[in-house]
Chains A and B, each alone.
Chain A
Amino acid sequence: MSVVIHASDLTKVFGKSIAVDHISFDVQKGEIFGFLGPNGAGKTTSTRMLTGVIPPDTGTATILGYDIRSEPVLAKQGFGVVPETSNAYSDLTAWQNLLLMGELYGLPRARAEQRSSELLGMVGLLERKDQKVQAYSKGMKQRLILAMALIHEPELLFLDEPTSGLDVQSTQMILSLLRDLNKQGTTIFLTTHNMEEANRLCHRVGIIRAGKMVAIDAPEKLKTAIDRVHKIEVSFDRDVPDNTLAGLEGVMTVNRTGDKWQITTQNKDATIHSLAAFSQKNSAAIVTLNTLAPSLDEAFLRLTQEAKP
């Protein structure tokens, strides 16, 4: 395996606050690497340093074998970027935006046109290709920006919260495209504050908090650290007494809010089974049943606690 991104000691200070604090990590060829952290953790600042948009105060980044500071053009030629904020030219059409990218990456005109058609088809914008981007919805813009990042068939793709604030349809489309691209060999660096997204998509996840990397591991391993306690929310079509639920298998605590019960459990599976059995036995039909993913904050609390013995 070869190293595609090598970040070493990257640091960025804005005024008095340290946005990114001596971060080091490697991303291997063929990986989907998730960079996970809450708002303000330093994900965007890190991504901007890695993609050569802002210089780091200290540290180095080697992308595809090129130092991003000393050989920026050669490094940039090999990767595509979907930045945090939408930034296609809104006065140009989708088609013109793509051809501009083609020229900036040095594609011959015919190739650029062919790629543009393919990509617009792929992101479902072919019929709107001659419309100015101004008139696009947020989801359409984001899909176009993904297409723009892919014009030169990069072997590495950076995405900064690509699905944040998007409609379900665009989110699903983007995530499935990323999976396909990765299958075809594209290495992907993705930032997100969405634990679920990172879990579903990434081979490895780095967790950043307040500018510091607090954990890097496979999501499964991180998950087990987080997944020890689950929350289940349930409601029945009739009243059931508190103590009956508390006695079910695996249940740790029971809380009532309105007509819903919030149950924490160490064994999600067993508890759901016993809830079903309970419902049948007492002929209290289940109206809602939700398993609640641990919030990112909870996850962080646990992860950072584990990091510090």
Chain B
Amino acid sequence: MNPSGFSVQMRRAWAIAKKDIRIYYIKGPVLIFGVFMPLFMFLAFLMGGRQLPLSFLVSGLVGMTLFFTATAVSPAIFPWEGQAKTLERLASCPVTIEAIVFGDMIASTLFGIGITIITVIIGLVLGLSLLHGIMLLTAILLAAVCFSAIGMLLAVPPTNVPSNIMMLSSLIKFPLVFISGIFIPLEQMPPWGLALAVVSPLTYFTDLVRYAFTDIHYFPILIDIAALGVFTIVFTVVTMLLHKRTMPQRM
């Protein structure tokens, strides 16, 4: 078996993902954050006394949950491991940088999916009706991969100080939420707002979730899915190329 072959490297990426889950995700504070964040968001949305119905709000809520959980931990993994020198260990192992990045993506994808499904279940318990379950699941899977690629993209600057990268990623993540049709429905947005919204992958995911719960959507469903797919591929390829370049600077 050629150790640099695709299937071998995929298996090694899975080993990295399992390591990440064990070390960085199955940790009290991370799990509590993951479970309580959607719960508090529901409360905040409900108590906000907004004029918008819960069935609209849930799309933004699910969108935010997946986006924030899938990008929560992964940007800090390289800085942590750079500091702990375990990254040097990985760099001397027969795994490609692509496999390491992909392993980190798998872990954050699974974390994002898990927490988002909890959110959906809370929503269903609160009385929301799910109209298109399969579509919702597809959207969550696709968007989870897309957002975890964004998470790894945020990890590109080769610093070994985790707080730096967390600060930077917040600076990018929060504005993205505001342009993605979460607080204002897309149809009520001014043209410049819409122009911003179309460049955010979160917009398309939110649109799909809205469709799954309310049957209403702004873009055609196929466009939503295609956009998410294209963003996923582009972000994944770009993040791998960039990490290949910056990795030596972390050592």
Contacts and interface: CB of A to CB of B under 8 A. Distances in A.
Interface of A: 48, 51-55, 71-74, 76-77, 81, 83, 85-92, 96, 100-101, 103-106, 148
Given A77-B94, A81-B92, A87-B86, A53 B15 contact: no
B93 A54 contact: no
B226 interface: no
Contact of B95 (A73, A86, A92): A73
B89 interface: yes
B94 A76 contact: yes
Q: Which 9 A-B pairs have the closest CB atoms?
A: A103-B15, A73-B4, A87-B85, A76-B94, A77-B94, A81-B92, A77-B3, A104-B93, A53-B91
Given A74-B3, A87-B84, A87-B86, A52 B91 contact: yes
Contacts of B16: 104
Given A91-B23, A96-B22, A100-B19, A73 B84 contact: no
A83 B85 contact: yes
17 contacts: A53-B251, A72-B96, A73-B94, A74-B4, A76-B94, A77-B3, A83-B85, A83-B89, A87-B86, A88-B86, A91-B22, A91-B23, A92-B19, A92-B22, A103-B11, A104-B12, A148-B89
A48 B15 CA distance: 24
In this complex, the member of A74, A87, A92 whose beta carbon has the largest number of chain B beta carbons within 10 angstroms is A87
Interface string B219-251: 000000000000000000000000000001001
Given A51-B92, A52-B92, A87-B86, A106 B3 contact: yes
Contacts of B23: 89, 91-92
Residue in B9, B23, B93 whose Cβ sees the most chain A Cβ within 10 Å: B93
A148 B85 CA distance: 15
A65 to B, nearest CB: 14
B171 interface: no
B22 A105 contact: no
B93 A76 contact: yes
Interface in B67-89: 84-86, 88-89
B48 to A, nearest CB: 39
Interface of B: 1-4, 8-9, 11-12, 14-16, 18-19, 22-23, 84-86, 88-96, 248, 251
Instruction: Name the prevailing secondary structure of the B interface residues.
Output: helix
A101 B93 contact: yes
A162 B16 CA distance: 26
A100 to B, nearest CB: 6
A51 B251 CA distance: 12
A85 B22 contact: no
Contacts of A86: 85
Given A87-B85, A106-B3, A76 B12 contact: no
A85 B93 CA distance: 16
Where chain A touches its partner, the secondary structure class is loop
Contacts of A90: 84
A55 B248 CA distance: 7
Contacts, number: 83
A87 B89 contact: yes
A92 B21 CA distance: 12
Given A92-B19, A105-B94, 16 more contacts: A48-B88, A52-B91, A55-B248, A71-B4, A72-B94, A73-B9, A76-B93, A83-B85, A86-B85, A87-B84, A100-B15, A100-B19, A103-B15, A104-B12, A104-B16, A148-B89
A104 B2 CA distance: 14
Contacts of A89: 19, 23, 84, 86
A105 B93 contact: yes
A76 B100 CA distance: 15
A53 B4 CA distance: 17
Contacts of A101: 93
Contacts of A105: 93-94
Contact of B92 (A55, A83, A103, A106): A83
A85 B23 CA distance: 20
B170 to A, nearest CB: 25
A54 B97 CA distance: 13
Given A92-B22, A96-B22, A106-B12, A73 B96 contact: yes
Q: Which of A71, A89, A101 has the largest count of B CB atoms less than 10 A from its CB?
A: A89
A53 B88 contact: yes
Given A53-B251, A87-B84, A76 B92 contact: yes
A120 B127 CA distance: 55
Contacts of B2: 74
Contacts of B22: 91-92, 96
Contacts of A91: 22-23
**Which interface residue of B23, B89, B91 has the most chain A CB atoms within 10 A?**
B89
A104 B88 contact: no
A54 B250 CA distance: 9
A48 B251 CA distance: 9
Contacts of B86: 87-89
